[in-house]
Amino acid sequence: MPWPENPKLIGTRIPRLDGMIKATGKAKYPSDEHPEGMLFGVMLYSPVPHAKIKTLDLKPAEAMPGVKAVIGIVKEGGLVRYHGDDIAAVAAETEEQARDAVRAIKVEYEILPHVATEPQAMADGAPEVVRGGNVKKGRATSVGDADAGLAKADAVVEMTLNVPVITHVCLETHGLTARWDSKEKITAWASTQAVGATAAELAGRFNIPVGDVTVLTEVMGGGFGSKFGADVWGIAAAELAQKAGKPVKMFLDRVQEHLAGGNRPSATAKVKMGATKDGKISGMIAETYGTGGISRGAQFPLPYVYAVADNKRTHSDVFLNGGNARAMRAPGHPQGCLIMESVVDELADKLGMDPMEFRLKNLAPNDFRTGIYEAQVAIGAEEIGWKNRKARGQSSKGPIKTGYGMALHQWGGGAAPDKQVTCIINPDGSVEVRSATQDIGTGARTILAIIAAELLGLKVTDIKSNIGNSTFPPGQASGGSTTTPSMSPPCFAAVSAARDALFKKIAPGLNAEPGDLSLADGKVLVKGEAKLDWKDACRKLGMMPINELGKFEEGLSSVGVAGCQFAEVSVDIETGVVTLKKIVAVQDSGLIIDKLTWESQVYGGVIGGLNYGRFEERVMDPTTGVMLNADMELYKLAGASDMPVIVVKAYETPEMKARGVIGIGEPPTIGTAAAIGNAVANAIGVRVANWPMTPINVLNALASAKS
């Protein structure tokens, strides 16, 4: 069944259903919940990067005022492997008491040598974070003959680029509020991107049926890929609640959020790439590494976007004493994009070719995205004023240099074809769609309601979009831009089935066949003529609501998008300060359900990429091994004054719409930092090889170019 050809609601600008409760402070986030008798949980986490726990004495904490339960998480003799690693947890009547009690816990650390930075971790004889050495080589990849490709190049560039680890900085920290409803039944209000997985994790840990676990996430304060389970602290909250016989709220403090709540791995790439005079990339050799702290996860795609027939690559994951990496908005792609796009830009310059023209010449010949890129680049170039771009370093004479840069990106996404939605039409005319998915700020709740309202001829506000409850039919986790394409088809199916069931019930009373009925503007129509109000029609159901389950259907959603971004910057070469003037994002994502929340996602992606390009950096102290900026003043994020003009262009042709629904969370955040880096290089005539584009990195690049 296809999407409606002439939709009334789909594709229009519809304010999100939960917008007003959020904007009035009335929305209850998991961290706002306060079940009767609730205690406050606080974590004790490691102040040192690497140590053996010689002794752990919880008794002093147990004796502190207001304390109801204390648990150890690491055992005596066990290890803490990074600043922020979990040690113990306390629940007390007030949060102040819980913090005092955590401080009263006596820990004797046997300090072990640490490695906190990639150079430390990779040095000869470095202390081992994992057995067998800190550098884990991945499988080398080779396509064609890279050396021969480079040998026939007319221009070759070789460069090393770095981008640091960044952290998710979810504004609502990780955590949950846990309440045991009986000895074997638990309710958890969790700040999660996956109510289902969180319920399964709790059920497994406490050995109870998953049906006796209810995870609720009505709203939540940001995840960006870092909140897919209950986590150590969530389990600790439930354990403390069990021990104390009272509900426990446990949310990380801001410091531990930075340290343990996840991060995007760093990337370092030494790349050699060549091209022939006609502007074709002829070969590429790349050696790359990155760190995900104590975990793997630093792999990223390279080559990226462009066709490089002859290439070879090695990659290593570097382990160090830092919190473990978690998926972060388009995992791997921002790193791969900014590395590839910097080298491509350099190579175009060396060939004396317009970097846009060079990019278009190197798109993959047999990829469906190629035509999309060509159309998008034309739109973006016009919007940014690419024709005003001067050759590299040819900006005005004074200290303020202006420049333009661009980047292409891509993402897969697509649907998980096994999710379900229930649609309920009640005799009072109210309509509910239910699924165990959740809205992490993307607008998922509103999208389900739009689909239902479209099919039932109702207003979006007439639909109760009931999600964020793990006991509902299985729904998609919010990640990888998969939620909308996974959930829209079963929603479409459920609502269609409910509508058809309603038609079947009421058709006889209207002396009509079910096939004669349709719905529009809150009315039931017979052969196109309005006969009955929606509510009157539903009243004919008597006591029995309609309750239909929808499953995935092919043809309503799709996978794979392209996008391009352009940046215009000015750089003060005396201070190194980069000022963004304008960013243009051109993006496709198939059929857009809600243009308003779609645009917000693209703006948000661009601003996330802007942060990555200009500000963000986890700073580790090599000497002490601790993170120096685990806060929100020295860990820099853009504020309102940092906003340039941002122009978002939906690439939404009839062909794009015909593809069906595709997710939009990841793609628009990928290319921004790359485009900014290229604009800076264009402005100042020197490649800034180290991200972010901070004054010190810009000035260092200028200084090393002079010397």
Applying CB under 8 A, the residues found at the interface with another protein are 15-16, 18-20, 22-29, 31-32, 34, 40, 65, 94-97, 100, 103, 169-172, 219-222, 224, 253-254, 440-443, 596-597, 599-601, 603-608, 610-611, 631-633, 637-641, 643, 646
Q: How far is the CB of 170 from another protein (least distance, A)?
A: 7
Q: How far is the CB of 183 from another protein (least distance, A)?
A: 28
Nearest to 561 by CA among 678, 414, 684, 454: 414
Burial of 197 (0-12, 13-18, 19+ CB in 10 A): middle
Distance of CA 93 to the CA centre of its chain: 35
Distance of CA 587 to the CA centre of its chain: 17
Q: How far is the CB of 189 from another protein (least distance, A)?
A: 12
Q: Which residues share a beta bridge with 139?
A: none
Phi, psi of 242 (to 5 degrees): -65, -45
Q: How far is the CB of 671 from another protein (least distance, A)?
A: 15
Count Cα neighbours of 160 within 13 Å in the Cβ-side half-sphere.
Answer: 6
Q: Which helix (H) or strand (E) holds 559?
A: none
Q: Which is nearer to another protein, 39 or 238 (CB)?
A: 39
Q: How far is the CB of 65 from another protein (least distance, A)?
A: 6
Q: How far apart are CA 679 and CA 404, in angstroms?
A: 4
Q: Which is nearer to another protein, 24 or 623 (CB)?
A: 24
Q: Which is nearer to another protein, 161 or 237 (CB)?
A: 237
Cβ contacts of 705 within 8 Å, gap of 6 or more: 685, 686
Residue-wise burial string across 303-313, b where 16 or more C-beta atoms lie within 10 A, e elsewhere: bbbbbbbbbbb
Q: How far apart are CA 444 and CA 450, in angstroms?
A: 10
Nearest to 448 by CA among 426, 419, 471, 413: 419
Q: Which is nearer to another protein, 290 or 441 (CB)?
A: 441
Q: Which is nearer to another protein, 23 or 544 (CB)?
A: 23
Q: How far apart are CA 705 and CA 688, in angstroms?
A: 10
Q: How far is the CB of 521 from another protein (least distance, A)?
A: 23
**CA-CA distances (angstroms) from residue 144 to 276, 278, 312, 422, 649?**
17, 20, 8, 51, 37
Cβ atoms 311, 195 nearer than 8 A: no
Q: Which is nearer to another protein, 422 or 611 (CB)?
A: 611
Cβ atoms 136, 316 nearer than 8 A: yes
Nearest to 67 by CA among 45, 46, 36, 88: 88
Q: Which is nearer to another protein, 19 or 474 (CB)?
A: 19
Q: How far is the CB of 25 from another protein (least distance, A)?
A: 2
Q: Which is nearer to another protein, 53 or 440 (CB)?
A: 440
**CA-CA distances (angstroms) from residue 185 to 35, 179, 218, 228, 471?**
15, 9, 20, 21, 13
Q: Which residues share a beta bridge with 562?
A: 410
Q: Which is nearer to another protein, 117 or 177 (CB)?
A: 177
Q: Which is nearer to another protein, 16 or 359 (CB)?
A: 16
Q: Which is nearer to another protein, 221 or 475 (CB)?
A: 221
Q: How far is the CB of 583 from another protein (least distance, A)?
A: 11
Nearest to 324 by CA among 346, 291, 352: 291
Place of tokens 């729904």: 475
Q: How far apart are CA 702 and CA 693, in angstroms?
A: 12
Q: Which is nearer to another protein, 96 or 278 (CB)?
A: 96
Burial of 393 (0-12, 13-18, 19+ CB in 10 A): middle
Q: Which is nearer to another protein, 306 or 566 (CB)?
A: 566
Q: How far apart are CA 493 and CA 689, in angstroms?
A: 50
